[in-house]
Amino acid sequence: MIQSVWEDFLIIVREELGSRVVETWFKAVTLMRWDALENIVYLQTPNAFICNWLEKNYRSIFQSHLGRLLNVVSPKIVFMTLQQKKNNAIPVLEGQVDNRNASAPMYRPAHALSHYNKNELTLSRNGEYRGTLNQEYNFEKFVVGPSNSLAYAAARTIAQKPGNVYNPLFIYGKSGLGKTHLLHAIGNEIQSSNKNAVVLYQTADRFVSEFIHAIRFDKIHRFQKKYQAVDVLLVDDIQFISNKDTTQEAFFHIFNSLYDAKKQLVFSSDTFPQNINGIAERLRSRLAAGMVADIHQPCMEVKTAILKKKAEESGEVLSDEVASFLALHVTSNIRELEGALIRVLAFSHLTKQTITLELVQKVISSTGDKKSEAIGFKAVVKSIEKHFAYSLEELRSKNRNKDLTLVRQITMYIMKQSTDKSLREIGSYLGGRNHATVKHALAKIETMRVTNNTVSQHIESILKEYNC
């Protein structure tokens, strides 16, 4: 009964919220049991992150639809993490199936790896390339925000239940935004919980080199055995196998072998799988068959949090003023942001000076990057706050209050007039809005400058203050 109720629930939710939401959040949940006497539904989630997200965003969905399917009114929903279940926080009632070990990853013991020596997976000789997992890249050091929350949630989930959900997982985004960090974090988490798990991190270019070496020295059989022995395969920058037909053929068969054996596959790329050129269609479809999650440019708050956390790891404390300046100045990616912080820390240590705003400005200005998109945006926002009393937080919010919406559109217009930045960059700065929204705002305000004298005066005044 429990299983059929859950299946019916997923059908209802898919119709109401869409398949993407179901695949992302609800497929990771297990209906543990239904306590009819206490009117309580117990739901198991892979980790605390998923648990908190469901609690915050979908509690009413669970109450409404599970209540209807169970023929009760407003059942109490209790979310449990996998760890809590393992700790027997909730006893299994008589008559219920004990699934305590059902979701535990099933790995072959080391002696059952097709007679393939597990230690050979860690070697980097004879043409075999094994990317060593970076222990510094873990989930605890990954700063989560709107730009990466989906990828982070999916990564945490499969680290708890490899091979069971989100297989394969495909993470894409521009360079330097945290894709590699998540791949290593997945591998480290799985190995810490299961020492017998064979986790292989590999870059696509090393895979290509290894395959070429195997062909050249007649070691294809050894090459195939190595990958067949893997429990978790993490491939970084998968786009680098583009236009390499023979390599793709070998990778296609490895993919199928591991997938059919329910081994976890995780890939990263700089673009959506359907947009990777030079990839065979049958391989492309497999890459996109599981969970696809993107990582994009982080917001100011996340960049500031990253800077503070990285500084703390180095034994330093950044003031809000310094962290905000760096976050505003470095707009390319997280890797560049960390590089700027390293320069500041190094300069501070070498010159034995305290990290102040003046010192940071001196270090950053020495790089030759005089202009910053975000600093220009900040000046515009200050003028907006002065004229309309709306904060940056409100401008970035989803609030569609009529007055706030108009001020937000004026802000977009001023930013376009006063900087050389794109519509996408403006929209991203103001709460992650798309370029179409910004384009609509520009057209509307351009018209209002002619038809609405009050709006026109405000804009002229702000542009004058901003010296545009």
Whether residue 98 is predicted with pLDDT greater than 50 in this model: the reply is no
Boundary of a domain, candidates 278, 294, 310: 294
Q: DSSP 3-state assignment of 236?
A: strand
Residue 155 sits in the same domain as residue 286: yes
Q: In this structure, are 180 and 289 located in the same domain? A: yes
In this prediction, residue 159 carries a pLDDT of 92
CATH assignment at residue 395: 1.10.1750.10
91 has pLDDT over 60: no
Q: Looking at the structure, do residues 79 and 22 belong to the same domain, yes or no?
A: yes
Q: Report the pLDDT averaged over residues 58-74.
A: 85
Lowest mean pLDDT among 6-10, 236-240, 346-350: 346-350
Q: Cα–Cα distance between 100 and 89 in angstroms, integer?
A: 11
Judge if the upstream peptide bond of residue 168 is cis by omega within 30 degrees of 0: yes
pLDDT at 375: 52
Share the mean pLDDT of the chain. Answer: 80
Give domain status of residue 339, yes or no. yes
Inside any domain, residue 396: yes
Per-residue confidence at 88, pLDDT binned at 50, 70, 90? low
Residues 235 and 265 in one domain: yes
Range with the poorest average pLDDT among 76-80, 213-217, 395-399, 409-413:
213-217
- Asked whether residue 323 falls in the same domain as residue 425, the answer is no
At residue 122, does pLDDT exceed 60?
Answer: no
Which residue would you say has higher pLDDT here, 9 or 466? 9
Given a cut of 50, is residue 277 above it in pLDDT?
A: yes
Nearest 5 degrees, angle CA 258-CA 236-CA 252? 35
Is 80 exceeded by the pLDDT of residue 130? no
Residue 254 pLDDT level (bands cut at 50, 70, 90): very high
More confident: 366 or 408: 408
Q: Cβ(267)–Cβ(201) under 8 Å?
A: no
Strand partners, 33: 42
| Strand, coil or helix: 139 | helix
Domain end among 312, 333, 365 = 365
Whether pLDDT at 81 is above 90: no
**Contacts of residue 378, Cβ cutoff 8 Å, sequence gap at least 6:** 328
pLDDT at 99: 38
Between 131 and 116, name the one with better pLDDT. Answer: 131
Do 350 and 231 fall into the same domain? no
**Which CATH number characterizes residue 40's domain?**
3.30.300.180
Look at residue 237 and tell me if it is in a domain.
yes
Backbone angles phi, psi at 91, to 5 degrees: -70, 150
The answer to whether residue 108 is domain-embedded is no
Pick the last residue of a domain from 236, 259, 294.
294
Task: List beta partners, residue 267.
Answer: 170, 235
In a domain, 110, yes or no: no
For residue 105, whether the previous peptide bond is cis, meaning omega lies within 30 degrees of 0, is no
Residues 17-39, mean pLDDT to the nearest whole number: 80
Contacts of 210 (CB under 8 A, 6+ apart): 127, 128, 129, 223
Same domain membership, residue 354 and residue 425: no
Average pLDDT over residues 192-209: 88
Max mean pLDDT range (105-114, 366-375, 432-441)? 432-441
Domain CATH for 353: 1.10.8.60
Per-residue burial over 408-447, b if 16 or more Cβ lie within 10 Å, else e, is bbbbbbbbbebbebebebbbbbbbebeeebbeebbebbee
**Span 218-224, average pLDDT:** 83
Residues 244 and 157 in one domain: yes
Question: Does residue 432 fall inside a structural domain?
Answer: yes
Same domain, 380 and 344: no
What is the count of structural domains for the chain? 4
Sorting pLDDT into bands at 50, 70 and 90, what band is 67?
Answer: confident
Does 452 have pLDDT greater than 50? yes
CATH number at residue 182: 3.40.50.300
Query: What pLDDT is attached to residue 87?
Result: 58
Mean pLDDT computed over 212-240:
86
240 and 283 share one domain? yes
More confident residue, 416 or 109: 416
| Confidence label for 366 from pLDDT (cuts 50, 70 and 90) | low
Joined together, the tokens standing for residue 100 give 């305590």
Q: With a cut of 80, say whether residue 347 has pLDDT above it.
A: yes
Residues contacting residue 126 through CB under 8 Å, at least 6 positions apart = 219
Q: Which of 52-66, 91-105, 117-131 has the highest mean pLDDT?
A: 52-66
CA distances from 351 to 313, 344, 359 (A): 20, 11, 10
**Rounded mean pLDDT of 276-286?**
89
* Within a domain: 97: no
Any idea of the CA torsion for 23, 28, 33, 34, to the nearest 10 degrees? -40
**pLDDT score recorded for residue 332:** 66
- pLDDT tier at 83, thresholds 50, 70, 90: low
Pairing outcome for strands 40-45 and 30-35: antiparallel
- Contact present, 263 and 230 (Cβ < 8 Å): yes
Does 456 lie in the same domain as 433?
yes
Range of weakest confidence among 15-19, 195-199, 415-419? 15-19
pLDDT tier, 20 (very low <50, low <70, confident <90, very high otherwise): low
- How far is the C-alpha of 334 from the C-alpha of 182, rounded, in Å? 13
pLDDT of residue 211: 86
Joined tokens for residue 110: 């080391």
- Same domain, yes or no: 156 and 193: yes
Q: Is residue 72 part of a domain?
A: yes
Q: In this structure, are residues 182 and 150 in contact, taking their beta carbons and an 8 Å threshold?
A: no
Express as a percent the part of the chain with pLDDT over 90: 18
Summarize the confidence of residues 10-24 as an average pLDDT. 77
Domain span including residue 440: 376-465
Residue 430: pLDDT above 50?
A: yes
> Higher confidence at residue 2 or residue 120?
2
pLDDT tops 80 at residue 464: no
User: From CA 400, how far away is CA 406, in angstroms rounded?
Assistant: 9
Query: Which of 160 and 338 is assigned the larger pLDDT?
Result: 160
Q: 258 pLDDT exceeds 90?
A: yes
* Report field, pTM of the whole predicted structure over 0.85: no
Pair of tokens at residue 12? 């209802």
